[in-house]
Amino acid sequence: MITGNKIRTIRQLKHIPIKDMASRLEMDESTYSRLERNETKLTEERVDKILHILNISRESVEQFDNKINYLKTFNDNSNSNIINNQQNQNIGEELIKNQNKIFQLIERQITQTSAFQNELLKLIKDKKDN
């Protein structure tokens, strides 16, 4: 079903001002606005003229809600994927930071252990020499 709301949305998507639509339909802007607000009944003849001005088929307008819902769903899913990807990236970066900290701690532990071993070896050698 073709409604004024669908026509308004399509007109806006095509960046056609109300005054241009009203002029091409030979009516004043307030009358045309009432059509888009569903306050005035759309005749088949008027719908055909509007579709011609918008350069869109009746079938496309009738399926418009389904396409909008699909796009909204696609957009919502895309946004969710972007958010998830960003969260995953943040988690990955945090894991790398933590991993680097662990490597630094291990290196420090190895260095301290090596120094301790060297001290022990020196003490053992000194004991043997005495």
CATH architecture of 1-60: Orthogonal Bundle (1.10)
Q: From residue 123, how far is each of 42, 120, 130 by CA, in Å?
A: 102, 5, 11
Instruction: Reduce the DSSP state of residue 102 to 3 states and report it.
Output: helix
Q: What is the model's pLDDT at position 75?
A: 56
pTM for the whole structure: 0.51
Q: What is the model's pLDDT at position 10?
A: 87
What are 58-102's pLDDT values in tens digits? Answer: 888 887 765 565 555 555 555 555 555 666 677 777 878 878 787
The string over 32-41, giving b where at least 16 C-beta atoms fall within 10 Å of a residue's C-beta and e elsewhere, is bbebbeeeee
- CA dihedral (60, 64, 68, 73) positive or negative: negative
